[in-house]
Structure 1
Amino acid sequence: MTPAKSLTDILASLFPEGHAVSVEEGLIAGDGPFAQGRIKVIGIDGDTPLGVEGALTLAGHVLDTVRAGGRTPILVAIDSDSQRMSRRDELLGLNEYLAHLAKALLLADQQGHPTIGLLYGHSAAGAFIATALATRVLAALPGANPSVMDLPSVSRVTKLPLEKLQEMAKSTPVFAPGLDNMLATGAVHAVLDPAEPLRPQLETLIADLPASDVRDRLGRERGGRPVAEEIADLVSSRLRAV
């Protein structure tokens, strides 16, 4: 598997003239020149788990961008572990903090800020859902390794043998980890070319940003989720009829 680029390489490719993005305790924050203005950059680096404080910090950066007005794009760069598996975080209600971060990104999107995820390393579980999957579209670099739940964990929850799940994963992308499966289900919108400058690729993604969530359609077209779009449309139509 081709290794994904480091954050330093990514920032250099996005901002050849320099930037104001830094990393503190695994959290990415800052901005850089982009198009006719600037782009906000937040995220997680170094396979860092996302805990209560991290979720609040990232959400704060997003909400500050929304309060500032305009249509500043927000790039969410991700190389994380899962959510922080600590008793303290769970007792403090980590799920609510993760939901707050996801809702902050959804609010930014609703307020006209293009939100783009860029997965360049690992990410899993709640951290993946609350960051990369909460953006309008998610791009990835070759070598990225996302999963909502790894197969050993799926085995523990479902009580199915790991060997059976591994065999099922070969033909059922919807629960299988890995970039190829996330691409097939439509969760990953596009895989960028690391051999080419990333800035024009990101500019194209923003220029072609879909007006609505197209992951169900992509999943149908790519064969990873063949009936999700149909079921979602049916549920929506039934709700509208109530």
Structure 2
Amino acid sequence: MTLDEILASLFPQGHDVATDQGVVRGTGSLRSGGRMLVIGVSDRKAIGIDEAIRLSAEVMGSLENGRGPILVVVDSDSQRMSKRDELLGLNEYLSHLAKTLLYADLHDRPTIGLLYGHTAAGAFLASAMATRVLVGLPGAEPVVMDLPSMSKVTKLSIDVLKDKAKSTPVFAPGLQNMVEMGAIQVLWNDATPLSEQLESLLTSLPGPADRRDELGRQHGGRLKAADIAERVHDLALQRS
């Protein structure tokens, strides 16, 4: 689905969402009443400092002037790895974007990510993964790290990584692997109205506590993360 088709299906009552150089901003009318802030990235735009600060400003501004849930639509490249962006502190800008979404979610503005295209690396973490619930649409292409980059970091050959990816979702790109790891909590059906699926999700949103590690354990994609997190938490409480 294109972004225009997605927005029309999500908000049959109307919306004023527009795209400016890959940055998505606006609001949509919910079937149950009220409006939903919509931000995000389209057209496989890389997120640099300019995009990150614009999106952050939209979130923070909405805390002062609005209410209701926030939808983050994502079809991005990775973060923009230019010399300019890196020298100006791209990591801090991406961190700031993630923090604004987390802050909003903790202050009665539940956040939902909608991954409908590509995304990768820091851009993935700072946008889609910073939301309370991440939804995937058929055809989405999430990649935490592509195999050539992973090969450079791990010093393992691409052939070895491809073989590991067959049985270990952590090594593999793709929508279903992200579901198995617990990163994507919900898959929507693009053959039925998205507005109905959105309303259903809004009425059954989990609390803001991040339990993606537990989902990963349940789905068989991350068997150790939840146990380790629980042990670290227990040890921290003992020492305090």
Q: Secondary structure at the match of 1:174?
A: helix
| 25-34 or 170-179, larger mean C-alpha shift | 170-179
User: What is aligned with 1:22?
Assistant: 18
CA distance in 1, matches of 2:92, 2:50: 12
Contact 2:217 2:226 in 1 (8 A): yes
CA distance in 2, matches of 1:59, 1:94: 13
> Residue 181 in 1 paired to residue 177 in 2?
yes
AA in 2 matched with 1:106: L
Q: Secondary structure at the match of 2:4?
A: helix
1:125-173: CA deviations, max 9, x gaps?
Answer: 0100000000001001011000110111100111110000000011111
Q: Secondary structure at the match of 1:188?
A: coil
1:69 Cα deviation after fit: 5.3
User: What is aligned with 1:160?
Assistant: 156
1:201-220: CA deviations, max 9, x gaps?
Answer: 11111221111212111101
1:82-113: CA deviations, max 9, x gaps?
Answer: 00010000000000000000000000011011
Which residue, out of 224, 229, 232, partners 1:227? 224
CA distance in 2, matches of 1:150, 1:208: 34
User: What is aligned with 1:117?
Assistant: 113
CA distance in 1, matches of 2:110, 2:202: 7
User: What is aligned with 2:39?
Assistant: 42
1:14 Cα deviation after fit: 0.8
What TM-score do you get using the length of structure 2 for normalisation?
A: 0.97
| 210-219 or 129-138, larger mean C-alpha shift | 210-219
Which residue, out of 226, 234, 238, partners 1:237? 234
1:68-107 residue pairs with structure 2 within 5 A? 68=65, 70=67, 72-107=68-103
Q: Secondary structure at the match of 1:187?
A: coil
How many residue pairs get matched?
237
User: What is aligned with 1:62?
Assistant: 59
CA distance in 2, matches of 1:213, 1:201: 22
AA in 2 matched with 1:49: A
> Residue 204 in 1 paired to residue 208 in 2?
no
Q: Secondary structure at the match of 2:108?
A: coil
AA in 2 matched with 1:238: L
Contact 2:44 2:117 in 1 (8 A): yes
CA distance in 1, matches of 2:213, 2:205: 15
Give the superposed CA RMSD.
0.9
CA distance in 2, matches of 1:69, 1:42: 14
1:164-200: CA deviations, max 9, x gaps?
Answer: 0000011111232111110000000011000000011
Q: Secondary structure at the match of 1:32?
A: strand
Which residue, out of 23, 29, 36, partners 1:33? 29
User: What is aligned with 1:214?
Assistant: 211
CA distance in 2, matches of 1:218, 1:180: 13
Contact 2:142 2:175 in 1 (8 A): yes
Contact 2:12 2:195 in 1 (8 A): no
| 101-110 or 232-241, larger mean C-alpha shift | 232-241
Q: Secondary structure at the match of 1:138?
A: strand
User: What is aligned with 2:127?
Assistant: 131
Gaps of 5+ in 1: none
AA in 1 matched with 2:16: A
